[in-house]
Chains A and B, each alone.
Chain A
Amino acid sequence: MEATTPAESYTVASQRFVETNLVRKKLKAEQTAKWFCLGMVILMILPLVSLVTYVFIHATPSLNLEFFLEVPKKGMTQGGIWPALVGTVYLVLVALAISAPVGVMAAIYLNEYAKDNWFHRAINLAVINLAGVPSIVHALFGLGAFVYAAKFGYSIISASLTLAIMTMPVVITSTREALNAVPIAFREACWNTGATKWQTIRRIVMPNSISGILTGVILEVSRTAGETAPIMFTGAVFYKAVEKGDLFPYFLDEQCMALSMHLFAISTQVPNVAESMKFATAITLLGLVLAINATSITLRMWLRSRKKW
């Protein structure tokens, strides 16, 4: 066979559909890339699945209804996790109640009203940077600001405020993403008819971004269920006596137990705790976060099905 230049072989291939080296190479690269990326997906999922399975298997001896409803007994070596479970739910719900309205309203201002000037650019930069502040720093801020300065003391309200402050930047960012997903043409069409910005936001922008906003907010706040440092400094307590299965064991100005803190305590501070109890606590925390996320995903699917365009 005669030697051909690359340009010539290309012409030949396109004319006669001959499989040249170039085509073979291209197809091979395509296959390699696909399988390589799939491999990475498996590599990512594998540790996650094995971790959950491992924890679950070790937790089974302790997993029963009694464990969830019972209070810790005999210096936390026996009994269940009820006070910690309720405490975490309290902390997350109060943090959600604070950060959702504040974060969403702030995002609406920044996205819909704020003009592009140095002041708002500085705020945007601050929001982005705040999202990267380590939780221990937020914890110290919460201790200084809410526990001491605002005199809320060590309490659920201090801890939830700290968690809320911590999630606020991410709530703002995710809300702004949801707002930006609504096409600008819709807003202009409304402004052209003489609608005010607020009328446009309330009647067009919000109804069409609410699924993204809600799920974003809930996902972000549920993430805080596992945080230990911020609540340890501001309102979570090692042990607190409550009634078994009591749904309202805490007031907002009281300290509470929390799952993450409890797990830390029984794993490192308390001797002679059954291994299965530690794993069961861990799987409960995991299950709680998964449950909140599942709610949020269901909500998103339901709201998406009502979406208008």
Chain B
Amino acid sequence: MSGYKKVEVTDLRLSYENQEVIHGISFDIEQNEIFSIIGPAQSGKTSLLRCINRTIELSPGATVSGSIKVDGEEVRDIHNVYELRRRIGMVAPLPVGLPLSIYDNVAFAPRCSGLSSKSELDSLVERCLRQSALWDEVKDRLDTLGTKLSGGQQQRLTIARALSHQPEILCLDEFSIAIDPVTTMRIEDALKELRQEMTIILVTNLVQQARRLANRTMFFWEGKVVELDTNEVIFSDSPNDPRTYDYINGIFG
């Protein structure tokens, strides 16, 4: 952790049609930290991530106010939104193998941004698959379909794809809900490695996962920040807000 503020969110509000789902939240994410967001379903965690990479604009009826800055730059004012999305890797809850070969799945984003050199693509694909702990399992069959892999493998493929556009921030949205515990552990190990290179935002509803991985954890509930602090405080016996203690210890939520 460097203390450099990678993402700054100030008074962020999000509403769908007339219903406000995020009620003016503010927080900072520091560079090279693993920042985890915990909270029950329907509290707006996924929407929050979608505000950061501006895919929220593709949902009809969503209006965002407040400010989100990445590297001090207001995301709303970034003219080239595709450039912004390449700087942010996004992993969805359910694994999505695109209907392409394993190689093409990972090479998709680089190709979209104009990379066509075979040797560069080869090394990039290998590096991303290694980083997501999938390389050893698929190195001999890179031309088989990504959709034919098992769920856990597809999720690692999804992570490899998110890494393929060399993001500065990696957002993982409940990446482990559809995969087995062994694969989850492998991905968690991979994430610890990746922390050296990028900032990781981990949305999870597995409280223990946040405890294992994160530097800081934010308890997010019904569109509001209940508590945001370092893991030592959040997972201690006396966090600042009693609701945090209750949630983490399974008394509610």
Q: Is A26 an interface residue (CB 8 A)?
A: no
The chain B residue sitting closest to A182, CB to CB, is B99
- Residues of A near B162 (CB, < 8 A) are 192-193
B112–A309 touching, CB < 8 Å: no
Interface residues on A, range: 20 to 34
- Residues of B near A308 (CB, < 8 A) are 99-100, 145, 147
Residue count of chain B within 8 Å CB distance of chain A: 30
Q: Is A241 an interface residue (CB 8 A)?
A: no
A192–B90 touching, CB < 8 Å: yes
Q: Is B83 an interface residue (CB 8 A)?
A: yes
Among candidates B83, B94, B100, residue contacting A194 with C-beta atoms closer than 8 Å = B83
Chain A CB count within 10 A is highest, among B83, B98, B109, for: B98
A interface footprint on B31-67 (CB within 8 Å = 1, 0 otherwise) = 0000000000000000000000101001011000000
- Residues of B near A203 (CB, < 8 A) are 108, 112
Q: Is A246 an interface residue (CB 8 A)?
A: no
Q: Is B158 an interface residue (CB 8 A)?
A: yes
- Residues of A near B150 (CB, < 8 A) are none
Of A58-66, A133-141, A183-191, A218-226, which binds chain B? A183-191
Asked, given contacts A308-B99, A309-B145, whether A193 binds B60 with beta carbons under 8 Å apart, the answer is: no
Docked Cα-Cα span, A307 to B148, in Å, equals 12
- Residues of B near A115 (CB, < 8 A) are 60
- Residues of A near B61 (CB, < 8 A) are 116
Asked, given contacts A194-B82, A194-B112, A309-B147, whether A189 binds B60 with beta carbons under 8 Å apart, the answer is: no
Among candidates B55, B113, B145, residue contacting A192 with C-beta atoms closer than 8 Å = B55
B99–A204 touching, CB < 8 Å: yes
B interface footprint on A101-120 (CB within 8 Å = 1, 0 otherwise) = 00000000000000110000
The chain B residue sitting closest to A204, CB to CB, is B98
A193–B99 touching, CB < 8 Å: no
Q: Is B85 an interface residue (CB 8 A)?
A: yes
- Could you name 22 residue pairs across A and B whose Cβ atoms are closer than 8 Å? A186-B98, A186-B99, A188-B55, A188-B92, A189-B92, A189-B161, A190-B108, A191-B85, A192-B85, A193-B85, A193-B109, A193-B162, A194-B84, A194-B85, A194-B109, A194-B165, A195-B108, A204-B98, A208-B99, A308-B100, A309-B97, A309-B99
